[in-house]
Amino acid sequence: MKKSLFLSLILCTFLSVNAQVSIVTSGFSQNLTKAELNFSGDRKLFATGINDKTTENYFVVSKNKSGAETDELYLEKFTKKGRNFTKSFSYKLEHPVNKSLAFIDNRASYSDVDKDGNYESISIVDAYENGPDSKLQTVYGIIQYNNEAYIVSLSGEDGFIKNTFSENFSKLPKQISDFFLNFWDGLKKE
């Protein structure tokens, strides 16, 4: 009896560990420099390690120089190939006024929705009219699926009521779009 209970416990532990598909790790990500990963921006805002069943990854958010005329925000994924990390996903948002784009790290989701062993994510970016103390203009949800960007957004022009979608959004599998739209719908946007 004790032997079968012990074997059942080991089997359950193995299955629960094996079922874990994506693990968010911090590792050296908070101290990550441009010399270690060649991210596009001049300054790193956020970085985290995300390991899934098949790959080791870093997700990095960076921006252009503070004080520049325009604002540029980059969302990038780096995937380990051999000993090095190479850029496998990149999306750039631009705004005509510096310090107007804000990435909100606690309003993001990383998950293996379709259970294929690779993580999918949604990142939320707020765009302000004229810098962080001005009126909120647009809220973007950037979904990263199969290293492509799919966008959902809301505008202050209609009171943040009607979702607008990128042209390719309809190509997302229903399971992926439903999962991230449920997450998106649950966020406060104004």
Q: Pick from 139, 154, 55: which is nearest to 103 by CA? A: 139
DSSP3 helix / strand / coil % (the chain, rounded to 5): 20, 40, 35
pLDDT at 5: 40
pLDDT in tens, 40-74: 999 999 999 998 888 899 999 999 998 899 999 99
pLDDT at 56: 92
pLDDT in tens, 94-152: 999 999 999 988 889 999 999 999 999 999 999 999 988 999 999 999 999 999 999 99
Q: Give me the residue spans of the domains in the chain.
A: 22-185
**Percent of the chain residues topping a pLDDT of 70:** 84
Which residues have CB under 8 Å from 118's CB, separation 6+? Answer: 52, 53, 54, 55, 112, 146
pLDDT at 145: 97
Instruction: Take residue 118 and report the two structure tokens written for it.
Output: 């690779």
pLDDT at 164: 97
Which residues have CB under 8 Å from 132's CB, separation 6+? Answer: 99, 100, 102
pLDDT at 6: 39
**pTM, full prediction:** 0.84
**pLDDT at 177 exceeding the cut of 60:** yes
- Measured CA to CA, the distance from residue 184 to residue 190 in angstroms comes to 13
